[in-house]
């Protein structure tokens, strides 16, 4: 499928119709024990595709094969959540005495993991300025084993120069990991941009319906074996029902992202014109500081973006959000529903200057005009 376009890959990859009596979708396998016809077969388990439920079933194979085709990966490991995918990727390349560079605008649980579990395991973390680019070279140490990227960054949406960072890392023998949940492999082909381990919180756009918790790590050829071995040794496994739901989401990923992008652009451009808004954080906008890099490296933008409001009281901010009809107040994103939350974040390497409250918006699959009416009424409540 190397020559197929992503829209075709999401529809056709991972299908196992010939093995399942012509069915379009691979059935859900719920199993632990897999029987062998004889003792010789049992002893030859290393040559068998399926030997025990935790080590894979046709349902997990279908999902992982589809993702590998979409990512251009040598191997994909499916996992119980996006956070588990992040921690699995990091621990597959880092051990006691190692050093890791992590972007300062990463997902908060990633930062928390680095400051707790990694620290306890003897791995030191340095958070770096997401705008550092090739300047990251100055931060490497002899024991730096990995660089962890996230572009655009959680809540503040800075775009990183991932190819430049990857080039510096690889010149020093370090691995490059990336949380690519915002771009997905549709809009940011991470492995082609120099990333070794591409990470997704599949709970978001891969699932697409807010009804499944799933993560995955897709590895290039040089990292495939160590990822597989580490994940297997840790006993990690995603159940058949969750794989089925995630694969169902993959089938419509391309068309959903197109709609999310169209709606988000409409909302973001409108918000830029509103007097209550200081600036909009969305790299697809020409006014965004990261637009040039986004246009160079990305193939599109999803439905998630931020906005910095002008100074306003907590009470008025609550009035704005509490009165919205079509935007739910809740964590996660990437589903069909529109969401809004206030953004709170910790930065240590590069301070993020905000004139007023920062809000994060996810443009769902609602009619964009209805969302605009809702936002307009909400902004009026700010005064």
Domain final residue, candidates 228, 251, 274: 251
- Indicate if 74 and 86 belong to the same structural domain: yes
Note whether 300 and 186 are within 8 A (CB): yes
Which domain covers residue 377, as residue numbers? 254-381
Is the domain of 65 the same as that of 141? Answer: yes
Residue 356 lies in a domain: yes
Please tell me whether residues 140 and 54 are part of one structural domain.
yes
146: enclosing H helix or E strand: strand 144-150
Q: Is residue 91 domain-shared with residue 222, that is, in the same domain?
A: yes
Residue 145's domain is classified under what CATH number?
3.40.640.10
Distance CA 61, CA 56 (A): 7
Buried b or exposed e, range 87-119, using 16+ CB within 10 angstroms: bbbbbbbbeeebbbbbbbbbbeebbebbeeebe
8 A C-beta contact, residue 294 and residue 284:
yes
Residue given tokens 């890392």 in the structure block: 169
Q: What is the pLDDT of residue 3?
A: 80
In a domain, residue 228? The reply is yes
Residues 233 and 302 in one domain: no
Residues 286 and 195 in one domain: no
Q: Residues near 172 by Cβ (< 8 Å), separated by ≥ 6?
A: 140, 144
Q: What is the pLDDT along the chain (383 residues), one digit of tens a residue?
A: 668 889 999 998 998 888 888 888 899 999 999 888 889 888 886 667 888 889 899 999 999 999 999 999 999 999 999 999 999 999 999 999 999 999 999 999 999 999 999 999 999 999 999 999 999 999 999 999 999 999 999 899 999 999 999 999 999 999 999 999 999 999 999 999 999 999 999 999 999 999 999 999 999 999 999 999 999 999 999 999 999 999 999 999 999 999 999 999 999 999 999 999 999 999 999 999 999 999 999 999 999 999 999 999 999 999 999 999 999 999 999 999 999 999 998 999 989 999 999 999 999 999 999 999 999 999 999 98
Residue 125: phi, psi to the nearest 5? -115, 135
Give me the active site residues, please.
54, 107, 179, 204
- pLDDT for 46: 67
**The predicted structure's pLDDT at residue 26:** 92
Question: Does a structural domain hold residue 47?
Answer: yes
pLDDT at position 19, please? Answer: 86
* Residue 335 and residue 213 share a domain: no
Residue where a domain stops, chosen among 251, 267, 288: 251
Same domain, 359 and 299: yes
Domain boundary, last residue among 216, 251, 286: 251
pLDDT at 78: 98
Clarify whether residues 290 and 340 are in a common domain: yes
Q: Residue 1 domain-assigned? A: no
pLDDT at 21: 84
The number of distinct structural domains making up the chain is 2
CATH code, domain carrying 265 = 3.90.1150.10
Please indicate, yes or no, whether residues 57 and 110 belong to a single structural domain of this protein.
yes
pLDDT for the residue numbered 383: 81
Q: Give yes or no: residues 29 and 130 share one domain.
A: yes
Same domain flag for 80 and 105? yes
- Please, how many CA atoms are within 13 Å of residue 140, restricted to the half-sphere of its CB? 20
In a domain, 203, yes or no: yes
């Amino acid at each position: 499928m190397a020559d197929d376009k992503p829209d075709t890959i999401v529809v056709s990859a991972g299908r196992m119709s010939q093995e399942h009596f012509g069915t379009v979708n691979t059935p859900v396998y719920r199993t632990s024990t897999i029987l062998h016809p004889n003792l010789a077969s049992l002893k030859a388990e290393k040559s068998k595709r399926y030997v025990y439920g935790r080590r894979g079933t046709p349902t997990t194979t279908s999902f992982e094969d589809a993702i590998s085709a979409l990512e251009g990966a040598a191997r994909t490991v499916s996992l119980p959540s996006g956070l588990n995918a992040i921690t699995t990727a990091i621990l597959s390349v880092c051990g006691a005495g190692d050093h890791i560079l992590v972007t300062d605008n990463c997902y908060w649980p990633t930062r928390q993991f680095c400051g707790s579990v990694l620290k306890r395991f003897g791995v030191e973390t340095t958070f770096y300025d997401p705008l550092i680019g090739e300047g990251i070279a100055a931060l490497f140490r002899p024991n730096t084993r990995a660089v962890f990227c996230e572009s655009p960054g959680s809540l503040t949406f800075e775009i990183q120069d991932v190819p430049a960072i990857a080039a510096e890392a690889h010149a020093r023998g370090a691995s490059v990991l990336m949380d690519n949940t915002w771009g997905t492999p549709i809009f940011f082909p991470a492995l082609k941009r120099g990333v070794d381990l591409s990470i997704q919180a599949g709970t978001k756009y891969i699932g697409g319906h807010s009804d499944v918790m799933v993560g995955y790590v897709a590895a290039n050829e040089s990292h495939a074996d160590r990822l597989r071995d580490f994940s297997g040794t840790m006993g990690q496994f995603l159940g058949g029902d969750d794989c089925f739901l995630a694969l169902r989401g993959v089938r419509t990923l391309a068309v959903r992202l197109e709609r999310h992008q169209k709606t988000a652009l409409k909302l973001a451009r409108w918000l830029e014109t509103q007097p209550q808004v200081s600036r909009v954080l969305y790299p697809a906008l020409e006014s965004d500081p990261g637009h040039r890099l986004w246009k160079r490296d990305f193939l599109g933008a999803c439905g998630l973006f931020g906005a910095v409001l002008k100074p306003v009281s907590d009470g008025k901010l609550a009035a704005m959000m509490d009165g919205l009809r079509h935007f739910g107040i809740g964590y996660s994103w990437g589903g069909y529903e529109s969401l809004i939350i206030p953004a709170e974040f910790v930065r240590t390497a590069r301070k993020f200057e905000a004139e007023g409250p920062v809000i994060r918006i996810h443009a769902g699959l609602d009619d964009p005009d209805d969302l605009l009416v809702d936002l307009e009424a909400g902004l009026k409540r700010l005064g």
